Amino acid sequence: MSAASQPLIQAALALIDEAFEKKAWHGPNLRGTIRGLGAAEAAWRPGPGRHSVWELVVHAAYWKYAVRRRLSGEKRGSFALAGSNWFPRPDAADEKAWAADVRLLVAEHRKLRAVVAELKDRDLDKAAAGHRTTARVLVRGIAAHDLYHAGQIQLLKRLRMN
């Protein structure tokens, strides 16, 4: 049975895609907030100990990985970077490193999307492997996570201009 014949899965895919990169009524999605940003803008911090756009991007990539792993039952420890949740990124402008981390975010979205597309409608209300949280809650949550950080990034961009 294909994802096309699974209307709830189609809705879940539309939700995560809209939050990440598809046109939406609410304004910029996560991918849209970083479009055109260079490493200097991405590395800027509003103050000591505050996260940069760059760190938010890698954090979002990590949580896409974590949700994918929970949905698929994949073992921990397969994320591209060592650590979890927050990953210190350079304060200096390094365009190649910034581009690599943006590619990581996009790749993790694609992998997550592929796992969601393999689900059946009936799977959405099942708890993810080894967790009490259902697939439906995880999918809805990762979309909300993308939009939450998209808002933060928009604010950081505005703060940097002032």
- The Cα–Cα gap between 9 and 124 comes to 8
Structurally, the chain folds into a number of domains equal to 1
Predicted local distance difference test score (pLDDT) of residue 63: 97
- Enter the pTM of the model: 0.94
**Which residues constitute the domain of residue 54?**
3-161
Dihedral angle at the C-alpha atoms of 77, 111, 102, 133, nearest 10 degrees? -60
Consecutive 10-residue runs of the chain (162 residues): their mean pLDDT? Answer: 80 97 91 96 93 97 96 87 90 92 98 97 90 94 97 94 77
Cα separation, 31 vs 87, whole angstroms? 19
Q: How many Cβ atoms from other residues are within 10 Å of residue 155's Cβ? A: 12
Crossing angle between the packed helical segments 53-72 and 135-161, to the nearest 10 degrees: 170
C-alpha–C-alpha distance, residues 25 and 154, integer Å: 16
CATH of the domain at 86: 1.20.120.450
